[in-house]
Structure 1
């Protein structure tokens, strides 16, 4: 599938995203999936590994493993179920970004995680040199445009 997607023109793939397989796979299976995709696409596409969990230490561990595997970036979802305050989100994402040399994409999906990243928190996180993108699944174009500005 990965090779087919790249052959069809995709230049980047996310492995172990949050809505798909990652909540039900072991760490070993996550690593195997990343390795299989990297092998299938070679240098024809960037591969981003989903490393988000509701446990900061576990997310950091997954980030370090993914970096050693050779991915090009990381996707980190807001911690789900435990609904941290904004300061907790700031610390969670900062710990992940500080643990690796890879670019980190935040994934703000409050409908699944139970907590949004407030615009003010997003602006603070954007100061981190390795936090480079936000996948915003809130659907609030007004807030998104304010954050971009």
Structure 2
């Protein structure tokens, strides 16, 4: 369940900023139909930063309800306070979620020892499998390979979403962890190379609108058929990059609305809608994927 194309699901809202359950259902059915391996609910792409905790829990639980055991659900449970991370994680005990994705604490820039103690403390307060999430460009801190190796020894810390885009990290991590520890890319543009170097999949933004293609790329790559995987990825590479033409999830929400998966591309402040200029650039790439 923690291999292949895992979508970092957007959280659909109506024009008033309330959660749109009808669009959420449409998104989940789309991913089940197109063979996405699992769904991350309310990760950073799901706007965890602007949902309050009750809304956060509501969206995860609604996602579980709609999915109805047809696709594994991973809950985003990251926080920059360890106690908050524990509290949020414990709310999902016995809920049916398959795991938690926990981002490094943002803004307060802990030391490597602080990062170790943070994740260790959360893991020791739950039996839910934990996936670490390292994205320094968004959080201001970097979870280094030596710290990852220490955390990998904790039984329910099962893997990491590594979103630095630095492919040299893969071998550095693999040398320090057991073969059971899972490496998942958090960068669509380098995900195929990541898998070829020893990763087992990607937690993907692109999959929100190109689920079938991301699932196929990962399936082929995990079978060792990188030639065919690269043929498909070639058509997506510009899309991967254009989906970050403005901060995530601004572009992906507009794209999802454009292809009819959600009714509105509403985001909560301080995030604002995609600029007109960038809509034109992104529209070109969306049209291309229809022709694969």
Structure 2 length normalisation: TM-score?
0.50
Which residue is 2:107 aligned to?
A: 81
**Match of 2:162?**
136
Could you say which residue in structure 2 is the equivalent of 1:53? 79
- Report the 3-state secondary structure (helix = DSSP H, G, I; strand = E; otherwise coil) of the residue aligned with 2:80: coil
CA-based RMSD of the aligned residues comes to 1.0
Q: How many residue pairs end up in the alignment?
A: 149
Match of 1:6 in 2: 32
Secondary structure of 2:91's counterpart equals helix
Quick one: distance in 1 between partners of 2:116 and 2:100?
16
Structure with larger Rg:
2
1:66 match: 92
Contact persistence 1:11–1:44 (CA under 8 A): no
Partner of 1:121: 147
- Gapped regions of structure 1 (runs ≥ 5): none
Which residue number in structure 1 is paired with residue 279 of structure 2? none
Q: How far does residue 20 in structure 1 lie from its aligned partner after superposition?
A: 3.0
Q: CA deviation at 1:66?
A: 1.7
Alpha-carbon distance in 2 for matches of 1:27, 1:3: 25
Query: 1:72: Cα distance to partner?
Result: 1.0
Once the two structures are superposed, residues 7-57 of structure 1 have per-residue CA deviations (whole angstroms, 9 ceiling, x without a partner) of 221131000111331110011111110111111111111100000010000
TM-score of the aligned structures, taking structure 1 as reference length: 0.96
Distance in 2 (alpha carbons) for counterparts of 1:19 and 1:56: 21
* Separation (CA, whole Å) in 1 of partners of 2:51 and 2:35: 28
Cα deviation code 1:57-77 (max 9, x no counterpart): 001000000224321100000
The alpha carbon displacement at 1:6 in A equals: 1.2
Maintained 8 Å contact 1:74/1:103: yes
Relative to total residues, which structure has the larger strand share, 1 or 2? Answer: 1
CA distance in 1, matches of 2:111, 2:45: 23
Deviation at 1:3, TM superposition (A): 2.1
Distance in 1 (CA, whole Å) between partners of 2:47 and 2:143 is 23
More divergent stretch after superposition (83-92 vs 12-21): 12-21
CA offsets per residue over residues 65-113 of structure 1, 9 Å max, x none? 0224321100000000000000000000001111110110000000001
Q: Could you tell me how far apart the structure 2 residues matched to 1:41 and 1:3 are?
A: 8
d(CA) in 2 for partners of 1:69 and 1:22?
19
Identify the residue that residue 52 of structure 2 maps to in structure 1.
26
